[in-house]
Amino acid sequence: MGAKKKPDVEPEEPSRAAGACVLIVLVGVVTAVVFAVSRTAGPLFVWAAGTAAVWWHVRRVPEKSAPPPPVAGRPSCRKCKGQEPASVTPSETQKGMWIYGYDLAERPGHSHVHIAAEVNET
């Protein structure tokens, strides 16, 4: 008796969309059963499941990495030419934008601000 030959074609992996559809159907069936058992328990179950889903998602989201350090080629104008910036911070609303703050020597207590895109030197 000879050994069985293995087929050359590997079996395909099931798609993630199919798994998501099965999960949605199961959640729908469980929710329908809870609503059928009690009209009061149904909304409480939906709220509890939603809260648990949000909590689970927030715990899985990776922490944001630190922004890259500012690069050479910072902005300058006649007011701040030749000075070192007093502060350099990344913009929280615009990704890739930097806020440069300069202290004005001729006006104590005043500052000058530039907002510039990140410079990529090759």
Divide the 122 residues of the chain into consecutive groups of 10 and give the mean pLDDT of each group: 63 80 92 93 92 88 60 63 76 78 78 69 42
Containing H/E element for 31?
Answer: helix 16-37
List the chain domain ranges.
Answer: 16-60, 68-122
pTM confidence score: 0.39
pLDDT value at residue 122: 39
pLDDT value at residue 46: 92
**Is the distance from CB of 90 to CB of 81 less than 8 angstroms?**
no
